Amino acid sequence: MTNKTIKVDYLARVEGEGAMVVRIKNGRVADVKLKIFEPPRFFEAFLRGRSYMEAPDITARICGICPVAYQMSAVHAMEDALAVAIPRSIRELRRLIYCGEWIESHALHIFMLHAPDFLGYPDAIRMAKDHPKLVQQGLELKKLGNEIISLLAGRAIHPVNVRVGGFYRVPARQELAPLAERLKHGCDACRDDVRWTRTLPMREYSHDTEFVALRHPTEYPMNEGRLVSSRGLDIHAREYDAHFEEEHVAHSNALHSVIKGRGAYLTGPLARYNLNRDRLPASVQEVAREVGLAATCRNPFESIIVRALEMLYAFEEAIRVIAEYEPPEVPAVACEPRAATGTACTEAPRGSLYHRYTIDAKGIIQDAKIVPPTSQNQKAIEDDLRQYVAPRVDMPTDQLRAECEQAIRNYDPCISCATHFLKLEVEREP
């Protein structure tokens, strides 16, 4: 019977700080914990007493990788509270800025964080010596994503131009045109990158969990849609709290989110793709078919392919938005505060991001609730690790450790959002 202790003190190439413990006793997996020990960040508390107009800029500081997601969920939730309707051109610009974030976040993860796992390098710097073009490609694509965000929101990190009702300033058509040309080159390169992800050595593995994502009548989801799942959930964001709950667990400073009565679920690229493949444009579906991606993908290792596919979609969508763009008459719809509660879910690169705010008649935030994607995915990641390790308990320790790390990176967890380092311990107890 296998009783061993394996410890990895530092899991690199994830966003943030935390630890993973896998305990193996008598040849069986006794316990798996994703520990998040970064101190609580109290964002929900310090939103209280602030103006509803400040929510997008305050919550954007939660994450350096996905600030746009926080801004988008915040403005949609506030607009839900204020019953404000947004014209198509503003809605389109919001999709465009979200495309920028998907591109920069997915490019960073695919090329710099995840690819070294598949190609057998400890990090992107050492991978760059043998695969310079690959790394340069990743950096170029990431830069294009950053450019979209900078153009629409002043700067790529902690963008500032998004506001409840729209934007503080919207671009003229001619400002977007030069970017469109560069995006077309990026789009072509990205199509080849999806094909490249298919050539990576892939582990045969399947993890069955409940997939949860937004679903929109016509679009691949980013900002809008009903929250649906692979096991029949179909709700408006307003019903979120009736179906999902957060549990405090002793080993984590992030709350664990579960579906009431059912437990763990997964949001993010795999969930979005599995629930919305038919909403991808025919051109992107064609590439999915070409690379042999199943209609439902249950292999978390293949998330690198799905991320590349979503990046291709984001390029195509960004190019479409720019081609059809007509500036709105005013950059933002006027908003009048009123006492109300508003909710929204939008699709951050790594999964659904839920915001709920209660504001008073003057628009002062009385209560705020934010459920980031990594909180939602934490339990599913633990379940996946448990299932992955079970038939591999006798694997050499170094190999098992490396595979566990890769399995965690499949989810591109942003531990800073949920709260910072991922430390991996595999313990085999006597």
Partner 1 sequence: MIVVGLGHEFRHDDAAGLVAARRLRERGVAALEHEGDLATLMDQWKGADGVVLVDAVWSGAAPGTVHRLDAGASPLPRELFKSSTHALGLADAVELSRALGTLPARVLVFGIEGRDFTAGVGLSAEVEGALSSLVEEVASCMKSR
Identified binder of partner 1 from the candidate list 60, 78, 135, 381, rule CB under 8 A: 135
Please tell me whether residue 154 binds partner 1 under the rule CB under 8 A. Answer: no
- Interface mask (CB under 8 A) for partner 1, residues 248-267, using x and -? --------------------
Q: Which is nearer to partner 1, 135 or 297 (CB)?
A: 135
Identified binder of partner 1 from the candidate list 155, 260, 289, 362, rule CB under 8 A: 155
Please tell me whether residue 350 binds partner 1 under the rule CB under 8 A. Answer: no
Eight-class DSSP state of 182:
H
Please tell me whether residue 8 binds partner 1 under the rule CB under 8 A. Answer: no
Please tell me whether residue 121 binds partner 1 under the rule CB under 8 A. Answer: no
Identified binder of partner 1 from the candidate list 36, 84, 86, 156, rule CB under 8 A: 156
* CA nearest to 68, candidates 184, 148, 165: 148
Residue 103 has which token pair? 């591109």
Is residue 33 within 8 A of residue 13, CB to CB? The reply is: no
Residue 106 has which token pair? 């997915």
| Part of the chain binding partner 1 (CB under 8 A), chosen from 9-17, 78-86, 226-234, 274-282 | 9-17
Q: How far is the CB of 369 from partner 1 (least distance, A)?
A: 24
Residues within window 277-306 making contact with partner 1, judged by CB under 8 A: none
How far is residue 245's CA from residue 235's CA, in Å, rounded to a whole number? 15
How far is residue 181's CA from residue 362's CA, in Å, rounded to a whole number? 45
* Helices 303-324, 88-107: inter-axial angle, 10-degree rounding: 150
* CA nearest to 73, candidates 149, 162, 171, 170: 162
Eight-class DSSP state of 114:
I
Eight-class DSSP state of 255:
P
Torsion angles phi and psi, residue 229, rounded to 5: -140, 165
Is residue 426 within 8 A of residue 385, CB to CB? The reply is: no
Q: How far is the CB of 55 from partner 1 (least distance, A)?
A: 20
Q: Which is nearer to partner 1, 61 or 236 (CB)?
A: 61
Q: Which is nearer to partner 1, 139 or 364 (CB)?
A: 139
Please tell me whether residue 378 binds partner 1 under the rule CB under 8 A. Answer: no
| Part of the chain binding partner 1 (CB under 8 A), chosen from 71-79, 155-163, 239-247, 315-323 | 155-163
Identified binder of partner 1 from the candidate list 28, 126, 173, 236, rule CB under 8 A: 126
Q: Which is nearer to partner 1, 150 or 358 (CB)?
A: 150
Identified binder of partner 1 from the candidate list 5, 7, 64, 387, rule CB under 8 A: 64
Q: Which is nearer to partner 1, 69 or 237 (CB)?
A: 69
Place of tokens 């579960």: 258
- Cα-Cα-Cα-Cα torsion 72, 230, 250, 410, nearest 10 degrees, comes to -70
How many DSSP H helices and E strands does the chain contain?
A: 15, 15
Helix (H) or strand (E) holding 289: helix 282-290
Identified binder of partner 1 from the candidate list 161, 352, 377, 416, rule CB under 8 A: 416
Q: β-strand 28-35 against 234-235: which pairing, if any? A: unpaired
- Interface mask (CB under 8 A) for partner 1, residues 15-54, using x and -? xxx-------------------------------------
Q: How far is the CB of 132 from partner 1 (least distance, A)?
A: 5
Please tell me whether residue 344 binds partner 1 under the rule CB under 8 A. Answer: no
Place of tokens 């990895």: 8
Residue 234 has which token pair? 């179909």
Q: How far is the CB of 125 from partner 1 (least distance, A)?
A: 5
* Helices 173-199, 303-324: inter-axial angle, 10-degree rounding: 160
Q: How far is the CB of 128 from partner 1 (least distance, A)?
A: 4
| Part of the chain binding partner 1 (CB under 8 A), chosen from 123-131, 257-265, 332-340, 344-352 | 123-131
- Interface mask (CB under 8 A) for partner 1, residues 74-113, using x and -? ----------------------------------------
Please tell me whether residue 124 binds partner 1 under the rule CB under 8 A. Answer: yes
How far is residue 214's CA from residue 204's CA, in Å, rounded to a whole number? 28
Please tell me whether residue 308 binds partner 1 under the rule CB under 8 A. Answer: no
Q: Is 51 helix (H, G, I), strand (E, B) or coil?
A: strand
Please tell me whether residue 391 binds partner 1 under the rule CB under 8 A. Answer: no
Is residue 207 within 8 A of residue 175, CB to CB? The reply is: no
Place of tokens 């209560």: 367
How far is residue 117's CA from residue 164's CA, in Å, rounded to a whole number? 41
Binding site for partner 1 (CB under 8 A): 14-17, 63-65, 124-126, 128-129, 132, 135-136, 139, 142-143, 146, 155-157, 416, 420-421
